[in-house]
Amino acid sequence: MPVTSGKIAELAGVSRGTVDRALHNRGGVKPEVENRIKEIAQKLGYEPDRAGKALSTRKNPPRFGVLMNSLGNPFFHEVKEGIAAAQKELADFRLEILMRETKGYRAEDQLAALDAFAQQDVKGVVIMPVDDPRIAEKINALSGTGMRFVTVNTDISQTRRLAYVGSDYFQSGRTAAGLAELVVPGRAELLIVTGSIKNLGHNQRIYGFSREMKDRMREIRVADIIENNDDEETAYIAAKQKLKEHPGINLVYIVSGGAAGAVKAVSEQKRKIHVLCFDSTPQIVSLVKKGEITATICQKPFEQGYRSVRVLFDAVVNGVLPESEFLYTDCQIKIRQNIE
Amino acid sequence: MPVTSGKIAELAGVSRGTVDRALHNRGGVKPEVENRIKEIAQKLGYEPDRAGKALSTRKNPPRFGVLMNSLGNPFFHEVKEGIAAAQKELADFRLEILMRETKGYRAEDQLAALDAFAQQDVKGVVIMPVDDPRIAEKINALSGTGMRFVTVNTDISQTRRLAYVGSDYFQSGRTAAGLAELVVPGRAELLIVTGSIKNLGHNQRIYGFSREMKDRMREIRVADIIENNDDEETAYIAAKQKLKEHPGINLVYIVSGGAAGAVKAVSEQKRKIHVLCFDSTPQIVSLVKKGEITATICQKPFEQGYRSVRVLFDAVVNGVLPESEFLYTDCQIKIRQNIE
DNA sequence: TTGAAAGCGTTACCAC
DNA sequence: GTGGTAACGCTTTCAA
């Protein structure tokens, strides 16, 4: 028989109201009584009942903010679906979610959105942060006022966020290298396509790849690196030229968005060149199915959205902190036969 | 503002009790009133509130049975963890779960267990069925009395189960073939290791593989098929001999449990032979990490357990049927770099 | 055939 | 500082 607040009240010789105030540190309880109550709760392993809580929380429901620079990026569609799914599962609690989607990487936009959240009594924020010290500062300042943060898809260091939910980019890079070894057993000559050399995730995918290659003592030559700002046309033109310059290239490793451009350049070649990339936007799915991309490594965007909201909710509403600061989603290998 | 049973009662000019009886077909309501109530509920899109329901259901909690011939099979450890996780998530409802684990494939054991469940007022059963017509009959008979069934990991045809939760064995076979094409680009000469030629899942893995090879017009020769009854020693001895007989074998495809034996035989060879297998028991994980298994295809046992209980719960307690009769878990490719 | 009321566990508010 | 009570939405029981 689970412990209820009523039972604790009885044992402590007080009322349920007092127990509630004591356990939530809401003040107005004599310190000695508060301690006694907490001890009893501890000893009996009291866990507040979720159903009862949901029912009573209805009067002032929790409110979260979600902040992502996701506009115009198809990848984030699934992340948003995950967020919606979590909200639906938490419908009992009438969780409100304020969505703010921005375009591009301007720190100013995020700062303004965070301030707006603070005005609106937002208890927790899921954020895909721009890597800027002002954002870190703002997160820390708001944390001081009790607002809780979870970073999703992209992390930011030096902050008091509760957790990061997303891909382990370094490990996905390693996994790509493992695939490379399988499909190009001999000497690998590599063309890398990255979105930006300032994008942390992209860099880690490259770093993980080369680390794995080194650890496995594989002979590898990086013919060139293309920076395409996630743009298809740029990737196409640059790849076309590089593939001509380096006829020995047998592997194209795309860590950025906008893979299709580079793939087009590859498929215009006569020789067999393997392509490895990341994520599974509809365009990529179609290219994998056609065999123009050998494999893609996915990071479970749906789960990223779902999980980040759940983790935040557990912390804000139930006072339960995540098991780890780093909540990595699976690193999934998809080839034409298992991509859908 | 969500619709409550109270609001429906008001609109229908009856009490909440009557609404409840009407919507649950519990009888004792004048047909015309019942229809009116149902219409209103339908029109307003009434969905019973889970928290309220959880709270009131406490007095007589639902009881489920789980029936698997899983004793002594390490694969099912994760399935059971998934079941436990679902039970924990449904703690609000005080869901009881009766676990019955058996060893081997005796239909009699399962029949007896099912009868016992029926005695104990079990509302729903998660079952990994033995493929025997008597089991199918029993499932159908008990379905007639209102008991609900979900099959997990292994399906059984011709039954009134609500859904199957598990691997799409055929597609995993196709995926294995896709991998085979990547790692053995030329002519493939194959040694197959299966648990039993009577095991439906194993057969489908083989069938999917050869179908995919055919569809992709790949040149392939099956040197031999070993039947090892999921036993390591048997697999070792047989594989050792077959590898000697057929020096052209460059791929070993293991669709059964007890992969380690065959792997041992492979690693005693001088030449490079790729090994593809299924699932990720601790032993397999270790062999993949050592590079003795090229890749393994996993079927998310945890999720199989979790999902089967959730689906059953939704049906029995909330009256919500699963979206599809076939709820396939992801087919995951694991290589040394992403296996954990 | 129907209604009224109690109860599930929590929180919030108002008295004292 | 503390206790009592109402409220959340549903199911169930007892009366009528």
CB spacing of A50 vs B91 below 8 angstroms = yes
Rg (CA), chain A: 25
Please report the pLDDT score of residue A340 as a whole number.
85
- Please indicate if any CB of chain A lies within 8 Å of the CB of B1: no
pLDDT in tens, A40-71: 999 999 999 999 999 999 988 999 999 999 99
What single-letter DSSP state applies at residue A166? E
Please report the pLDDT score of residue A60 as a whole number.
86
The list of chain B residues with pLDDT below 50 reads: none
Return the beta strands (E) in B59-206 as ranges.
63-68, 96-101, 124-127, 148-152, 163-166, 188-194
Which residues partner with B149 through β-bridges?
A: B125
What single-letter DSSP state applies at residue A240? H
Written as tens digits, the pLDDT of chain A (340 aa) is: 789 999 999 999 999 999 999 999 888 888 889 999 999 999 999 999 999 999 999 988 999 999 999 998 889 999 999 999 999 999 999 999 999 999 888 899 999 999 999 999 999 999 999 999 999 999 999 999 999 999 999 999 999 999 999 999 999 999 999 999 999 988 999 999 999 888 899 999 999 999 999 999 888 999 999 999 888 999 999 999 999 999 999 999 999 977 899 999 999 999 999 999 999 999 999 999 999 999 999 999 999 999 999 999 999 998 899 999 999 999 999 999 999 8
Q: Which two tokens stand for residue A48?
A: 């507040």
Rounded to 5 degrees, φ, ψ at B243 are -65, -30
What single-letter DSSP state applies at residue B242? H
Overall pTM > 0.85: yes
Measured between beta carbons, which residues in chain A are less than 8 angstroms from residue B183? 182-183
The total number of residues shown for chain A amounts to 340
CB spacing of A330 vs B331 below 8 angstroms = no
Chain D bases near protein Cβ (<7 Å):
1-13
CA B71 to chain centre: 16
Please report the pLDDT score of residue B312 as a whole number.
98
Measured between beta carbons, which residues in chain A are less than 8 angstroms from residue B338? 171-172, 174-175, 178, 330-333
- Please indicate if any CB of chain B lies within 8 Å of the CB of A300: no
Do residues A316 and A148 touch, judged by C-beta distance below 8 A? Answer: yes
Distance CA B77, CA B66 (A): 14
Distance CA A207, CA A174 (A): 8
Please report the pLDDT score of residue B230 as a whole number.
87
Distance CA B188, CA B11 (A): 71
Q: Which of B214, B290, B293, B338 would you mutate first to test chain A, the one with the most A CBs within 10 A?
A: B338
Do residues A33 and A65 touch, judged by C-beta distance below 8 A? Answer: no
Measured between beta carbons, which residues in chain B are less than 8 angstroms from residue A178? 335-338
Nucleotide nearest to A53 (CA to C1'): C10
Please report the pLDDT score of residue A338 as a whole number.
96
